[in-house]
Chain A
Amino acid sequence: MTDHTSSHGLAVALSDLTRVYGPVKALDGFTLDLAPGELVALLGPSGCGKTTALRILAGLDRATSGTVSVGGKDLTRVPASKRDMGMVFQAYSLFPHMTVIDNVAFGLKMRGRDGASRRTRAGDMLDLVGLGEHADRYAHQLSGGQQQRVALARALAIEPSVLLLDEPLSALDAKVRVQLRDEIRRVQVEVGTTTLFVTHDQEEALAVADRVGVMNAGRLEQLAPPAELYSAPASRFVGEFVGLSNRLPAEVRDGVAALLGREVPVLPGSTTGAGHALVRPESVSVVADAAGTATVATVMFLGPLSRVTSTLADGTDVVAQLASSDALRLQPGDAVRLEVAPTPVLVVA
């Protein structure tokens, strides 16, 4: 049996990184710590600096200021070729003139490993990603998903201290994305390599990561386990960026928000007085009630769940996510009563 496990899970620390491109500050005091063997996903809109942070960790870009350390060793000035990190790029990074196995063995060749051990290790890595039978093919003979799996095998073959994934699924179709996403997580858990995964797809980030870091304008807004990030956003940006949120008028007094006629606890960081509560669609329930003050506007069928949009008397639209069996009983124009679950909400000014 082949042993794929690695003892390479090392702590990673990016400290107070700044990266300035002319007038643009891509990173602005960015700090992130990864525990050994952990998978952290960096999530954020385009241009928020997540790829810049990853490239600085890889050594492919240089920080204007700040430090990078892995396993307690300062790598800030170490060139990329000496950092011992495996990286999977967005797409098209396989060397087209090499076969799959030669691609996977490339890093080992650069490390002076002999041909036989290179082939053995590369073969093991291909087995790990389920492509052992494609060893002699060229990149153009593989599908996009297979190419990314080869890229993953290639990155892991060198037993990297850190695995870097730069939007590796973004060029793939939806079904393959989900398959490969799960496979990346399985392999990462199996080899135990500390991993930084950059993506703009929140579902992807929430699905694979131990912790998710949400970035905005070169800074880390929040770093938390997926469930916490979703249920307790630390800022308005996180609340609005991650998942779908209703912005409902609310009045906060003594740590409690008055919301749709109900009192709901507020999250730390909420404003006081009048504001807007960020409420998840699944925290809203819709009850058919002829005396209700809201009116159903649309019912959108999404499979097992449906999304019901209702309009309050003041014109505010409220989106609720219900089981389709309940939602399909509602029709546009029906009078309904909206209720909010008593889970804590973030109230912003």
Chain B
Amino acid sequence: MLGAFQDEDGALTLGNLDALTSEAAVSALKGSLILSASTALLGAVLGAVLAYLVVSLPPRSLLRRGTLALSGVLAQFGGVVLAFAWIATIGQVGIVTQLVSDLFGADLYGSGWLFGLPGLVVVYCYFQIPLMVIVLAPAFEGLRPQWREAAVNLGASTWSYWRHVAIPLLTPAFLGALLLLFANAFAAYATAAVLVSQGQPIVPLLIRQAITSEVILGQANVGFALALEMIVVVTVVMVAYSLLLRRTSRWMR
């Protein structure tokens, strides 16, 4: 953090913060926020549905245990390996790209969307959805059968049970998982570093450029300022989360 307020020679300065208002920095922040928010939302919704389906299976079911185990692995399956897997699958000469081209004459690769922000959204979902599954599955398991039975016994339909009982009970866990997914995507670096070769659409890549660029030297402290900016964003999201949690989980205190 201190580095964000120092120049190359170690003297205190606010100059590095000016760089945060540059077009590249603003665009990268926007890209990071869009990428993190969209993959957090997609991952949270799709992951929650998948978690519910998995938890609905009998506890000893092979499919349930297999899906949870696979989710545990895929949630950690980011980085270079993931990026390569996607390139090998739907890259310019990827297996699926070739197959679709041969069978249907369609160009899946298109203008190279995989290597821009849309591609990152798709690829990030590959670890965001499994992460949501392993984080939210225990919350679904925590829904006691007695609550559903009590609700039904008191006249609730399936929809009423979900609306008045299950969703309010799951909300704190869902919000917590959503925050985790946002932070997970916001801080992810390696996958994007391998996939994106042109431009710096997200903040971590801009930080890399600032620290390792051989074209513009002496930008390391700008990188520190960008890192500080990321910390501030995550802090703001966490404060918003805790305010929201306070409203939705009064009953937990």
Q: Is the interface of B mostly helix, strand, loop or mixed?
A: helix
B251: which of A80, A84, A98, A107 is its contact (CB, 8 Å)?
A: A98
Contact A80 B153 (CB under 8 A): yes
CA distance A155 to B150 in the complex (A): 9
- CB under 8 Å from chain B, chain A span 68-88: 79-87
Task: Let me know if A87 and B150 touch, CB within 8 A.
Answer: yes
Give the contact-size bracket for chain B: 10 to 19
A154 touches B154 (CB 8 A): yes
**What CA separation (Å) do A282 and B133 show in the bound complex?**
62
Q: B107 on the interface (CB 8 Å rule)?
A: no
Contact of A86 among B144, B151, B153, B169 (CB under 8 A): B153
Could you tell me the distance between the alpha carbons of A59 and B156 in the complex, rounded to whole angstroms? 13
**Contact A97 B169, beta carbon cutoff 8 Å:** yes
CB distance from B248 to the nearest CB of A (A): 9
Chain B 143-187 interface 0/1 with A at a Cβ cutoff of 8 Å (1 = within): 010110111111111001000110011000000000000000000
Task: Chain A residues near B155: list those with CB within 8 A.
Answer: 81-82, 84, 107, 110-111, 158
Whether B147 lies near A93 (C-beta < 8 A) is yes
- In chain A, positions 88-103 with a C-beta closer than 8 Å to chain B are 89-90, 92-99
Question: What residues on B are CB-neighbors of A109 within 8 Å?
Answer: 164
Q: Separation in Å of the B173 CB from the closest CB of chain A?
A: 12
Beta-carbon contact of B149 and A158 below 8 Å: no
Q: Known A87-B153, A107-B155; judge A96-B251 contact (CB<8 A).
A: yes
Interface size class of A (residues with CB under 8 A): 20 to 34
Query: Who on chain A is nearest to B167 by CB?
Result: A97
Q: Tell me, in angstroms, the Cα distance from A140 to B249 when the chains sit together.
A: 13
Q: Which residues in A have their C-beta under 8 angstroms from that of B152?
A: 59-60, 79-81
> CB distance B251 to A106 under 8 Å?
no
A138 within 8 A of partner (CB):
yes
Question: A80: nearest residue on chain B (CB-CB)?
Answer: B152
List the B side residues contacting A79 at CB < 8 Å: 152
- Within 8 Å of chain B (Cβ to Cβ): is A152? no
Minimum Cβ distance to chain B for residue A241 (Å): 28
CA distance A99 to B168 in the complex (A): 13
| Interface residue from A82, A90, A96, A110 paired with B169 (Cβ < 8 Å) | A96
**Given A106-B164, A110-B160, A92:B144 Cβ within 8 A:** yes
Residues of A within 8 A of B156 (CB): 81, 106, 110
- Determine how close the nearest CB of chain A comes to the CB of B161; give it in whole angstroms: 9
- The one of B146, B147, B154, B169 that contacts A107, using a Cβ cutoff of 8 Å: B154
> Chain A residues near B154 (CB, 8 Å)?
86, 106-107, 110, 154, 158
Do B151 and A106 touch across chains, with their CB atoms under 8 A apart? yes
Q: Which residue of B lies closest to A105 (CB)?
A: B154
Residues of the A chain whose Cβ atoms lie less than 8 Å from the Cβ of B144: 92-93
A81 to B157, CA, bound (A): 7
CB <8 Å contact, B153 and A58: yes
Q: Name the CB-closest residue of A to B155.
A: A110
Cβ–Cβ < 8 Å partners of A60 in chain B:
149, 152-153
A109 to B161, CA, bound (A): 12
Q: List the B side residues contacting A92 at CB < 8 Å.
A: 144, 146
Asked whether B157 lies within 8 Å of A95 as measured between CB atoms, the reply is no
> Which of A81, A93, A97, A158 has the most CB atoms of chain B within a 10 A radius of its CB?
A97
Cβ contacts under 8 Å, B153 to chain A: 58-60, 80-81, 83, 85-87, 155
How far, in Å, is B152 (CB) from chain A's closest CB?
5
A151 contacts which chain B residues (CB < 8 A)?
150
Alpha-carbon gap, A107 to B146, bound state (A): 15
The answer for the CA separation of A86 and B149 in the assembled complex, in Å, is 11
As a 0/1 sequence over residues 26 to 50 of chain A, the CB contacts with chain B under 8 angstroms (1 = contact) are 0000000000000000000000000
Known: A83-B153, A92-B146, A107-B155. 19 other contacts (CB 8 A): A59-B152, A60-B149, A79-B152, A81-B153, A82-B155, A92-B144, A93-B146, A93-B147, A93-B149, A95-B150, A95-B151, A95-B169, A96-B251, A97-B165, A106-B151, A107-B154, A109-B164, A110-B156, A155-B153
- 9 pairs across A/B with beta carbons < 8 Å? A80-B152, A90-B146, A92-B146, A93-B146, A96-B251, A97-B251, A110-B156, A151-B150, A154-B150
**Chain A residues within CB distance 8 Å of chain B:** 58-60, 79-87, 89-90, 92-99, 106-107, 109-111, 138, 140, 151, 154-155, 158
